[in-house]
Amino acid sequence: MDAALVELLRSVDTPTVCNAIETAQGQRGFNAFTRGTMLASDPAGVMVGYARTARIRALAPPQEAPDVIRARRMAYYKYMSEGPRPGVCVVQDLDVPAAIGAYWGEVNTNVHKAFGLSGTLTDGVMRDLGDVAEGYPVVAGSIGPSHGFVYVVDFDAPVRIHGMDVAPGDLVHADRHGGVVVPTDVIPKLADAIASMMRAEKIVFDAVKGKQITFAEFETAWAAFEAART
């Protein structure tokens, strides 16, 4: 991605990206997005980047030796510090729906921000909501107070977050609405699709926002809107 596309994607919300994907594909039915309600550490936060993936657990202590767990944790951090940028940390909690381990709080958000990542998308738990690193949004499955026995199971492999499959290197966009994986073949068309979609929507907004209109006026505006989308 060039810098202009990155900035554009940071300026729009995830529903806009989903709509733009359908515009670029010329049809509805795209479904590589999260299901269900997710929670955002920052309602205005947007993350864009190539996925760096991992899986964690926290309900019970790990069965491996402590030095093995520590070595994997450090290998995980090294992995997160590397790779293409912009990057998004995407972490599946294998304890869902009973997840308790708040891996995402003041410490890890500051660490991952320092690695140059733009945010974390997880079906797991977050905490320290008043102390999450500024400018590092977390979109999570739940909020909790503690970390349990949290440890890294593996990393750099496919994960599933709220019904959305994510492979390492996938382009991810996420905000308070949830997340979406942008198909590779759509990326070159995305800027034009967003612009086209916004031009079409402006026809409706100009006709209805702050106004009281008749059905006939609406019908005219809607016909122009539909024509602009084809």
Specify binding-site residues: 127-128
> 33: which DSSP letter?
B
Q: Is residue 32 a contact partner of residue 70, using CB atoms and an 8 Å limit?
A: no
Cα–Cα distance, 148 to 47 (Å, whole number): 27
Q: Is residue 181 a contact partner of residue 30, using CB atoms and an 8 Å limit?
A: no
HSE on the CB side for 31, CA within 13 Å?
A: 4
Q: Residue positions in the annotated binding site for Mg(2+)?
A: 128
Q: Residue positions in the annotated binding site for substrate?
A: 127
Q: Burial, 85: exposed, middle or buried (Cβ in 10 Å; 0-12, 13-18, 19+)?
A: middle
What is the phi-psi region of residue 229: left when phi exceeds 0, alpha when psi lies from -120 to 50, beta otherwise? alpha
